[in-house]
Amino acid sequence: MPESLSARLRAIAQQLTDAGVPDPGVDAELLIGHVLGLGRGELQAAVIRGGALGEAESAQLDGLVARRAAREPLQHLTGRAAFRHLELEVGPGVFIPRPETEMVVQIAIDALMESATPAPVAIDLGTGSGAIALAMATEVPHARVFAVERSPEAHTWAARNTAGAGNLTLVHGDLASAFDELRGTAAVVISNPPYVPDDAIPRDVEVRLHDPAQALYGGPDGLDVVRVISRRAQELLHPGGLLVLEHGELQGAQIRALLEADGWRSTATHEDLTRRDRATTALTR
């Protein structure tokens, strides 16, 4: 017998609430929409019309809800992650892009838009899913964007997401040595590096259990990769070029001090929409 969408939506939201899932109502809508091939607005309209789930759809949904209740990331279940205007393919082996990174990449996009160079160069060090690089490439189409990713698994996801972006070059390699041919040419270098201290435990269960450790942990103080990026970005940027680093909410002062000791100027830390420190920028001399 068909099951009403309205009743199933309430039941799933309650099941996810009991499991401690953040935003259970939203996840319930997205899971049902995934099974039915509907966006959230379309699903909400179907609920109002008194729509129902068939037996096969209900069985498929049962499995997905159980996995979400076990705190498997929603994006792993749907295979998709929204980022700015993009819809990215994601799954095991790649860091899932976060909403707070959207404001970080906005800093880089603004700098590219303001560049006097006809085709400014932007470099994303450790691109993961390709979210940052693809946002820059699509929102600043006259820019030339380069991205590097070391993890074979993450590089596979980034290759899927960036395929077809004619102004974006993706390589599989080490951020400490990639793009030697671009030395002294970049207007912007940006990175969302691993910055969690090795002995810290991420708050979110989904992050702790499912995001790749290589994308999370950055040494005893979380800043080992930041130190590498500081040196590498100075080699890649032209004079007056901009470095943009995402980081944890308590790391701004430490990163500013690190960058200033390396010879950067005009260091500044920027808040995200929740008023937490989220990114630090600096200019080359």
Give the per-residue pLDDT at 119.
97
CA–CA distance, 163 with 111 (Å, rounded to integer): 24
Nearest to residue 25, comparing CAs of 84, 68, 88? 68
Give the per-residue pLDDT at 201.
86
Token representation of residue 151: 């993890």
How much is the average pLDDT of 236-243?
97
Point out the least confidently predicted range of 13-22, 115-124, 198-207: 198-207
**CATH code reported for the domain at 85-283:** 3.40.50.150
Residue 156's Cα: distance from chain center in Å? 15
How much is the average pLDDT of 22-45?
95
Predicted confidence (pLDDT) per residue in 96-105, tens digit? 999 999 999 9
CA–CA distance, 118 with 185 (Å, rounded to integer): 13
How much is the average pLDDT of 236-244?
97
| Mean pLDDT of all residues belonging to the chain | 96
Residue 176 confidence (pLDDT) above 90: yes
CA–CA distance, 25 with 33 (Å, rounded to integer): 12
Nearest to residue 120, comparing CAs of 192, 185, 165, 175? 185
Give the per-residue pLDDT at 104.
98
**The model's pTM:** 0.92
Residue 180 confidence (pLDDT) above 80: yes
CB atoms within 10 A of CB 257: 11
Residue 115's Cα: distance from chain center in Å? 25
CA–CA distance, 87 with 81 (Å, rounded to integer): 6
Nearest to residue 6, comparing CAs of 62, 46, 65? 46
Nearest to residue 35, comparing CAs of 78, 88, 87? 78
* Residues in contact with 123: Cβ distance below 8 Å, sequence separation at least 6, in sequence order: 145, 146, 147, 148, 179, 182, 186, 188, 189, 190, 236
Question: Which CATH class for the 3-70 domain?
Answer: mainly alpha
Give the per-residue pLDDT at 96.
96
**Common-topology check for domains 3-70 and 85-283:** no
- DSSP classification of residue 215: G
Residue 121 confidence (pLDDT) above 70: yes
Domain ranges, ordered by start, for the chain: 3-70, 85-283
How much is the average pLDDT of 183-189?
98
Give the per-residue pLDDT at 1.
59
